[in-house]
């Protein structure tokens, strides 16, 4: 290991830990939704809106940095980012004490605050890791994103056990625990050297236009990859619980946690042994397509559950892998390019679960489902979820189409 690489080892560890700690803002709130409904009488529609607020806030941050990144002190923003995560989760935890009569307003405020931090994390940590001197930059990028998956597993397991043994009425103490972890990120970043990061590209306008067209292919790829991943992420626990008739605790562990384990295993495997990212992306899209089809068509709940879990493995590299693909063909892309990619990923992550939910509701409430469901020995809700899974298969299918265009267009770097 060169001396230069050693100098930035602490910075790299700070990035890895921050991505690990950031996973709580995505996985903890949905686990508390039932508690919020029972305690504060908040409707499922309003609770679902919190997820939409999360993604929309991140999308706004992505777009701001796409067009205005040069106006920010990037190094200071990275150092302060973890404190926003802690503040947002702390606002959640203080709702019962300071404004129980306006609980939903408190949850909206907390969601906006930690979603800003999540958006900054997506926009800035990837280019920061890319800017660090490294002997294996592709593996570092894959490892960074794998830690998010392991963070989700940790949050799900720890939170599930805490709520089971200490009761849902003590959820605020659990939230304060997760709020404390990002403070360590602030300390690490404050005591670590920061490399210079490219904020914009200095090219002729003609070359910029040519590269922009190719960049949009990468944005489409990450959009469909994120959609394929997040449609399953948001629905797997409900599907497993509904299909197998098991408890929520077991459903969360067998569904969400195992999915996240597969997500982490896929990214860790690429970090250690991976190469030829284009083939990995094609295989991931094809495998996800097959899993969605099995989940939607299989008459056996266990086979459908296994397919849902394995979707985590196949979608594991679709987001970080597209970033690696972009870096291969766009040397020193700049913060704005990463922000644009994050915007594509966040948009896919917000659209797909909403679309799947709309399909499930429409099918399960239709007269067609009422007459057809008994013939295949399922309830109308189960039929709706199966149709939803089949509909979601459109995302990896279109992702394969985009990758085919990318392979043709990116055969040689000078074609971009």
Range list for CATH 1.20.1250.20 in the chain: 1-135+166-195, 198-416
pLDDT digits (tens, 9 = 90+) for 25-62: 888 888 888 788 888 988 767 877 887 788 889 889 98
pLDDT digits (tens, 9 = 90+) for 176-214: 999 999 999 999 999 999 988 766 554 444 455 556 667
Q: Architecture of 198-416 per CATH?
A: Up-down Bundle (1.20)
pLDDT digits (tens, 9 = 90+) for 158-174: 998 898 899 989 999 99
Number of other CB atoms surrounding residue 405 within 10 Å: 12
In sequence order, which residues have a C-beta less than 8 Å from that of residue 38 and are 6 or more positions away?
Answer: 168
Number of other CB atoms surrounding residue 272 within 10 Å: 12
Is 329 buried (19+), middle (13-18) or exposed (0-12) by CB count in 10 A? buried
User: Average pLDDT for residues 376-402, to the nearest whole number?
Assistant: 91
CA atoms of 383 and 299, how far apart (whole Å): 11
Mark out the alpha helices in 99-180 (DSSP H runs). 103-131, 137-166, 171-180
Give the pLDDT of residue 411: 66
Number of other CB atoms surrounding residue 179 within 10 Å: 25
Mark out the alpha helices in 41-73 (DSSP H runs). 44-68
Determine the length of the chain: 416
Output b/e per residue, 218-232; b: 16+ Cβ within 10 A.
bbbbbbbbbbbbbbb
pLDDT digits (tens, 9 = 90+) for 239-273: 777 766 666 667 677 777 889 899 999 999 998 88
CATH of 1-135+166-195, one of 1.20.1250.20, 3.40.50.970, 3.50.30.30, 3.40.50.620: 1.20.1250.20
Nearest Cα to 113, choosing from 92, 80, 85, 93?
A: 85
Handedness of CA 217, 222, 125, 141 (dihedral sign): negative
Give the pLDDT of residue 12: 92
User: Average pLDDT for residues 106-118, to the nearest whole number?
Assistant: 95
> Between vectors from CA 209 to CA 206 and to CA 213, what angle results, nearest 5°?
145
The yes-or-no verdict on residue 415 having pLDDT over 80 is no
Give the pLDDT of residue 392: 94
Give the pLDDT of residue 281: 96
């Amino acid at each position: 290991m060169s001396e230069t690489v050693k100098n930035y080892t602490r910075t790299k560890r700070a990035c890895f830990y921050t991505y690990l700690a950031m996973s709580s803002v995505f996985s903890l709130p949905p686990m508390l939704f039932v508690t919020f409904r029972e305690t504060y009488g908040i409707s499922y529609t309003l609770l679902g809106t919190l997820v939409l607020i999360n993604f929309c806030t991140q999308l706004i941050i992505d777009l701001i940095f796409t067009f205005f990144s040069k106006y920010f002190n990037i190094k200071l923003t990275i150092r302060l980012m973890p404190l926003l995560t802690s503040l947002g989760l702390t606002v959640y935890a203080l709702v019962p004490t300071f404004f129980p009569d306006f609980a939903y307003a408190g949850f909206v405020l907390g969601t906006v605050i930690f979603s800003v931090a999540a958006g900054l994390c997506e926009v800035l940590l990837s280019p920061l890791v890319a800017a660090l001197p490294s002997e294996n930059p592709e593996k570092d990028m894959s490892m960074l994103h794998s830690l998010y998956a392991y963070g989700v597993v940790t949050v799900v397991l720890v939170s599930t056990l805490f709520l089971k043994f200490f009761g849902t009425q003590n959820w605020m103490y659990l939230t304060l625990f997760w709020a404390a972890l990002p403070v360590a990120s602030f300390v690490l970043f404050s005591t670590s050297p920061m490399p210079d990061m490219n904020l914009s590209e200095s090219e002729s306008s003609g070359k910029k236009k040519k590269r922009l067209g190719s960049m949009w292919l990468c944005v489409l790829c990450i959009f469909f990859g994120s959609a394929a991943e997040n449609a399953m992420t948001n629905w797997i626990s409900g599907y497993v619980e509904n299909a197998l008739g098991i408890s929520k605790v077991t459903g969360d562990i067998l569904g969400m946690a195992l999915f996240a384990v597969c997500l982490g295993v896929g990214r860790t495997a690429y970090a250690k042994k991976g190469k030829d990212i284009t083939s990995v992306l094609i295989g991931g899209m094809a495998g996800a397509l097959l899993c969605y089809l099995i989940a939607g068509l299989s008459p056996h709940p266990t086979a459908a559950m296994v397919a849902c879990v394995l979707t985590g493995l196949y979608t594991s590299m679709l987001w970080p892998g597209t970033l690696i693909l972009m870096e291969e063909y766009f040397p020193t892309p700049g913060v704005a390019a990463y922000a644009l990619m994050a915007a594509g990923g966040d948009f896919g992550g917000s659209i797909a679960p909403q679309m799947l939910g709309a399909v499930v509701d429409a099918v399960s409430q239709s007269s067609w489902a009422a007459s057809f469901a008994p013939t295949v020995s399922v309830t109308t809700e189960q039929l709706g979820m199966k149709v939803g899974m089949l509909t979601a298969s459109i995302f990896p299918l279109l992702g394969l189409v985009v990758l085919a265009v990318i392979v043709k267009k990116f055969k040689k770097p000078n074609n971009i």
